[in-house]
Each structure stands twice: as C-alpha cells, then as structure tokens.
C-alpha cells in the first residue's frame, strides 16, 4: 500500500537556490534579488509584476516539471493571492512577445499550471472535507472512492511535509492520511469480495442449470482452463454440497449431482496451485525421515505427470523446490508475507517453518 511518511524539510529563502518552501509562501524581493517570504497582505502592482516575472523564471528554468510545480504550489501559503496575477502576467507577456517560441512557452506554462492549480484545489477540498469529519472517513470513501487516487495521497504527503515547522500539525495530517488509506483498502476489499460473489453466483447458476452432470462438469473444466475458476465459486459449490448431504429433504440423485460438481471444482482448483506447493504440503505430512527421503527421491525423479481425482503424480527439481522453500522461509523471517501467492501463505506458521528449514537443509545436503 501507499504508506505516508513525513520528513522534515529544510527550506531555502530563494527560488534561485531551490524554491521548495517559504520561497513560495509569500513572495517579495530582497536586496540581492532573491525571493523571500513577506506576510504583507497588500503588494503593489509593480512589485507583483516583478514577483510574477521571477516565478515565471523559476517555473520555466529552475523547477520546470509538473511535479515541481505541484510541490511549489502546495507549499505556498499565498498562492491563492498570487495565482490570478501570475496567470495575467503570463498572458500579458505572451501578448507582447515577438518570439513565437517564447509566446508558446508562456501560454503553455499558464495553461498547464492552471490545470494543476484546479486539480490541487479539488484535492484540498477533499482534504478539508475529511479534516472536518475525520470520524466519517469510511462514509466519505464510499461516496467518493474515485477521488482517493494515488495523486491525492501524494498530495496529502506533500501537505504534511509543508508543515515542517509545525510537528503537531504534520503528525495530524500524516495520521489522517493513514486513516484514509486504511478506509480505502477496506472499501476496495469489500467491493472486490461482493463483485467476486456476484460473479460466482452467476457462474454457479449457469452450472446448476446445465442439462446433465457431464455438461456441468465440462463447464467447470472450461472455467479452470480459462483460469476463471475462483475460490468464491468453489466455496459456493462446497456449501451447496455440504448443505445437501446434511439434508433429509433432498433426493439422493440431487446429492450425487452436487457431489460430482464439488469434486470436479475442488480438483480443478487444487490443480491451479503451483505443483511445488502441492509437493511441499504433501512432504510436510510425512513424519518419518526415511519415508520423507523416499518421497523426495520420487519428487525429483522425472516421469509422466498424472493428475487424478484423488492422487496426483508430480515431479520437480531440487533447485525449484528449494527456491519455493526459501521464499516462504524468507517471507516469514522478514515479514514479507505479502510477497507470497495466497496458496503459500498457509505455510506461514512457526511449526511449519521449522519443518521447512529442516527440509531445505535435507535438499541442500543430499540433492544439490
């Protein structure tokens, strides 16, 4: 996920130096021609023209990328006052410019900066809404999920950075960002689950309405071949079979149909799991060292791979199996569970990790 972090920002007093902070807050000239903060509310036209000209230089030369512009505008405390004057100055200079290339650059700068300005205003409006009602973040996300973009979280991070001189406010913004991120992830997970269930329901109804058991099983096989046999559908079929076998109201023929569907679906889903994980899970069930060594020899002996309803004959190489074991063990020790496929995550327990480490050593000592 996008984790918000804040670092204290060192600001310099001149756009000419770097222009990241109070250079954009309130702007006026010093004797040496630099631009520095000035909290005066009234700036005369002549001084504003000079400030805008210096900003044009900054935006065109010193900080020429849209990413720079976003940061500069976000850090500024006075841009709302300066902005209209800046856009007018760009247009005035473009009108009087004899060089077509420079005229184009000035008009483009004004247009692009205005687009960023509007976008930042929209993001600030969302941030203000959240700050006013932090306890309702979940509801706000539900209403305005499309507004919680990556760009919004980047902006929120920059806003937090801009409070370099106010750690309390900076921490509050950072905390608010993490609350938003958690709410978005929760909303997305719920939505994806609902969508998966709805899709599974449609597939399930299509399978159940098949003219025969064979036709229904073929539909399941086809879904598996297209990688569309998901766990939600298998869970739905499993629940239907589980309810049927406990029921006294359903005919045996109907129970048989659901049983066949259940076996077909679960068998197909199992075969979608990487064979190394399936081999590993089988090896972990063997307690006797000699029997486990024999199973390893079988697993590393090439031959025809057969996948049946109850028994699978699979083989792999020592390197491939060792790589999978190392991935699971490393993920456990370095808290990188998110890097594993979901079928491997149920191996993440201290007891199983110990067995995997022993198995890894056995493979290293005897097969590599």
pLDDT at 329: 76
Q: What is the pLDDT of residues 36-67, one digit of tens each?
A: 445 444 457 788 888 999 999 999 988 888 88
* CA atoms within 13 A of residue 366's CA, in its CB half-sphere: 13
Q: What is the spatial distance between Cα 119 and Cα 20, in angstroms, rounded to a whole number?
A: 19
Q: What is the pLDDT of residues 257-268, one digit of tens each?
A: 777 777 777 666
Which of the four pLDDT bands, split at 50, 70 and 90, describes residue 251? low
Is the Cβ–Cβ distance between 37 and 27 less than 8 Å?
A: yes
Contacts of 197 (CB under 8 A, 6+ apart): 232
Which of 332-366 are b and which e, b meaning 16 or more Cβ less than 10 Å from the residue's Cβ? beeeeeeebeebbeebeeeebbebbbebbeebeee
Neighbours of 8 (CB within 10 A): 11
Report which of 116, 15, 102 is spatially closest to residue 65, judged by C-alpha positions: 116
Name the strand (E) or helix (H) holding 364.
helix 350-367
Q: What is the spatial distance between Cα 122 and Cα 117, in angstroms, rounded to a whole number?
A: 9
pLDDT at 326: 81
Is the Cβ–Cβ distance between 124 and 158 less than 8 Å?
A: no
* CA atoms within 13 A of residue 359's CA, in its CB half-sphere: 32
Is the Cβ–Cβ distance between 264 and 210 less than 8 Å?
A: no
Is the Cβ–Cβ distance between 139 and 94 less than 8 Å?
A: no
Contacts of 218 (CB under 8 A, 6+ apart): none
- What are the DSSP E strand ranges found in the chain? 28-29, 35-36, 306-307, 312-313
Q: What is the spatial distance between Cα 126 and Cα 183, in angstroms, rounded to a whole number?
A: 14
Q: What is the pLDDT of residues 131-166, one digit of tens each?
A: 998 888 888 998 899 999 989 999 999 999 999 889
With H, G, I as helix, E, B as strand and everything else as coil, classify residue 239: helix
pLDDT at 266: 66
Q: What is the spatial distance between Cα 153 and Cα 170, in angstroms, rounded to a whole number?
A: 14
Which of the four pLDDT bands, split at 50, 70 and 90, describes residue 250? low
Q: What is the pLDDT of residues 266-305, one digit of tens each?
A: 666 666 566 777 788 888 888 888 888 888 888 888 765 4
Residue 20 C-alpha from the chain's centroid: 28
Which of 122-136 are b and which e, b meaning 16 or more Cβ less than 10 Å from the residue's Cβ? ebeebbeebeeeeee
Which of the four pLDDT bands, split at 50, 70 and 90, describes residue 321? confident
pLDDT at 168: 92
pTM greater than the 0.95 cutoff: no
pLDDT at 6: 39
Per-residue pLDDT averaged across 59-84, rounded? Answer: 89
């Amino acid at each position: 996920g996008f984790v918000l972090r804040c670092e204290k920002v060192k600001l310099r007093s001149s756009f000419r130096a770097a222009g990241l902070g109070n250079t954009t807050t309130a702007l006026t000239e010093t004797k040496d021609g630099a631009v520095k903060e000035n909290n005066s509310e009234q700036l005369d036209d002549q001084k504003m023209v000079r400030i805008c000209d210096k900003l044009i230089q900054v935006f065109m030369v010193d900080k020429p990328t849209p990413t720079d512009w976003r940061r500069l505008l976000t850090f500024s405390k006075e841009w709302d006052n300066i902005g209209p004057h800046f856009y007018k100055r760009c247009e005035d200079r473009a009108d009087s410019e004899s060089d077509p290339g420079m005229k184009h650059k000035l008009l483009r700068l004004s247009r692009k900066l205005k687009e960023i300005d509007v976008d930042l205003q929209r993001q600030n409006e969302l941030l203000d809404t959240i700050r006013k009602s932090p306890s309702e973040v979940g509801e706000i996300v539900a209403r305005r999920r499309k507004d919680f973009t990556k760009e919004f979280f980047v902006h929120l991070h920059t806003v937090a950075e801009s409070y370099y001189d106010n750690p309390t406010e900076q921490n509050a913004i950072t905390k608010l960002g993490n609350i938003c991120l958690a709410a978005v992830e929760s909303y997305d997970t719920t939505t994806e689950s609902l969508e998966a269930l709805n899709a599974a329901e449609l597939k399930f109804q299509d399978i159940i309405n098949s003219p025969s058991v064979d036709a229904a099983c073929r539909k399941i096989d086809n879904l598996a071949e297209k990688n569309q046999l998901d766990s939600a559908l298998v869970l739905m079929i499993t629940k239907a079979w589980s309810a049927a076998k406990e029921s006294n109201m359903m005919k045996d023929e109907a129970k048989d149909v659901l049983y066949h569907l259940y076996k077909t679906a679960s068998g197909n889903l199992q075969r979608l799991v990487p064979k190394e994980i399936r081999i590993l899970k089988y090896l972990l069930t063997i307690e006797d060292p000699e029997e486990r060594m024999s199973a390893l020899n079988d697993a590393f002996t090439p031959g025809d791979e057969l996948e049946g309803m109850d028994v699978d004959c699979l083989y792999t190489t020592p390197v491939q199996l060792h790589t999978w074991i190392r991935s699971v063990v490393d993920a456990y020790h370095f808290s990188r569970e998110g890097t594993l496929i979901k079928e491997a995550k149920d191996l993440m327990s201290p007891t199983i990790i110990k067995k995997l480490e022993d198995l890894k050593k056995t493979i290293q000592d005897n097969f590599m």
